[in-house]
């Protein structure tokens, strides 16, 4: 579909312009692709780059392929992704960005390994093409233009049966294992137990294992805003691309927090200037 490819290419260029403005770390490698940018950090949160170097996270930091994020019991990290998506990494979570390619081409792809804990993500254009995956020790979760919450309960955890869960708030996902696959629709949650070689199943009720953070309010309506922004930017980029090889319509991407900027208040009207008094006639010069 040419129009979809044109839209993705235009939006990709806009997103890369925004990400390029984030500060780079000294450990950046020339071959590493930028996956996203940190837009919120609270509590205990650590960042391991792909060389294994450890540093704390700061708002504005870039996140690259191969980077690993670890949050403590009070840690909360939000990422603005290069394809216009958004990820909230919840407390007690460990994940790795295995692959993130968002060039606006058919080969764009995202793969994230979730070791333990939970995240909530609204996918960008990569998810809308079905090329976004989240892998755990138990299963692979495929994303289809979604707001969803994968969760991994490790062995020995105090709460919950060990295994992988996925709750879908909008769109759809699937959970795949060697023993089978299930589709998960909005309002449903799926589960596969750890180490029992059983197929995944859709649960009858949503488990009470999910613990939203105090910053969870950012996700209210975010799925709709992100996808409206993708369509808006794509349409603008497509118009510009038709006249200038696909680049003229691409500008800076809006921050994918999805929060609209408030309208500026109208400027107060300037008071009318008082009328100047008439100047007296100058006396005529003598000829």
Q: Residue 185: inside a domain, yes or no?
A: yes
Helix (H, G, I), strand (E, B), or coil: what is residue 262?
A: coil
Domain count, the chain: 1
- State in Å, rounded, how far the first CA of the chain is from the last one: 89
| pTM given for the model | 0.73
Within the chain, residue ranges assigned H as helices are: 2-19, 125-128, 222-244
**Confidence (pLDDT) at 28:** 47
The parent domain of residue 127 ranges over 2-232
Task: For residue 263, tell me if it sits in a domain.
Answer: no
pLDDT of residue 89: 97
Q: Is residue 254 part of a domain?
A: no
Report CA 200 to chain centroid distance, whole Å.
27
According to the model, what pLDDT value does residue 104 have?
Answer: 81
Contact 16, 82 (CB under 8 A): yes
CA distance 106 to 34: 18
Residue 253 lies in a domain: no
pLDDT of residue 196: 93
Burial classification of residue 217, based on how many CB atoms lie within 10 Å of its CB (0-12 exposed, 13-18 middle, 19 or more buried) = exposed
Which SS3 state, helix, strand or coil, does residue 70 take? Answer: strand
pLDDT means per 10 residues, the chain with 287 residues, are 41 42 46 92 95 91 96 96 95 97 89 97 90 96 93 94 97 97 97 96 95 91 90 64 39 40 49 54 48
* Residues in Cβ contact with 158 at an 8 Å cutoff, skipping those fewer than 6 apart: none
- What pLDDT score does 271 carry? 53
Is residue 252 domain-resident?
Answer: no
- How many Cβ atoms from other residues are within 10 Å of residue 41's Cβ? 20
Q: Is residue 249 part of a domain?
A: no
pLDDT at residue 86, as a whole number: 97
Spatial separation of the C-alpha atoms in residues 142 and 68, rounded to whole Å: 20
Q: Can you give the pLDDT at residue 261? A: 40
* CA neighbor of 223 nearest in space, from 172, 189, 164: 172
Query: Strand 68-71 and strand 140-153: pairing?
Result: unpaired
Task: Give the CATH number, domain containing residue 144.
Answer: 2.60.120.1440
Q: In this predicted model, what pLDDT tens digit does every residue of 250-279 receive, in sequence order?
A: 333 344 444 344 444 455 555 555 555 555
Residue 279 inside a domain? The answer is no
Helix (H, G, I), strand (E, B) or coil at 69: strand
The answer to whether residue 140 is domain-embedded is yes
């Amino acid at each position: 579909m040419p129009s979809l490819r044109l839209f993705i290419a235009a939006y990709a260029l806009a997103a890369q312009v925004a990400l390029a403005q984030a500060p780079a770390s000294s450990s950046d490698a020339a071959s590493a692709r930028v996956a996203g940018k940190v837009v919120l950090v609270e509590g205990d949160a650590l960042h391991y780059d792909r060389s294994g170097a450890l540093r704390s996270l700061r708002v504005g930091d870039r996140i690259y392929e191969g980077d690993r994020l670890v949050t403590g019991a009070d840690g909360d990290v939000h990422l603005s992704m290069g394809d216009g998506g958004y990820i909230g990494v919840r407390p007690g979570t460990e994940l790795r960005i295995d692959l993130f390619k968002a060039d606006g081409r058919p080969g764009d792809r995202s793969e994230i390994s979730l070791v333990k804990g939970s995240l909530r993500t609204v996918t960008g254009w990569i998810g809308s093409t079905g090329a976004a995956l989240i892998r755990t020790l138990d299963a692979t979760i495929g994303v289809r233009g979604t707001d969803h919450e994968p969760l991994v309960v490790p062995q020995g955890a105090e709460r919950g049966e060990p295994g992988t869960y996925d709750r879908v708030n909008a769109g759809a996902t699937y959970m795949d294992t060697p023993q089978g696959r299930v589709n998960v629709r909005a309002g449903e949650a799926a589960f596969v137990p750890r180490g029992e070689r059983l197929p995944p199943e859709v649960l009858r009720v949503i488990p009470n294992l999910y613990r939203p953070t105090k910053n969870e309010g950012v996700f209210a309506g975010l799925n709709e805003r992100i996808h409206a922004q993708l369509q808006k930017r794509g349409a603008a980029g497509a118009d510009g691309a038709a006249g200038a090889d696909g680049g003229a319509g691409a500008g800076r991407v809006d921050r994918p927090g999805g929060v609209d900027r408030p309208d500026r208040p109208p400027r107060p009207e300037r008071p009318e200037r008082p009328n100047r008094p008439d100047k007296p006639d100058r006396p005529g010069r003598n000829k």
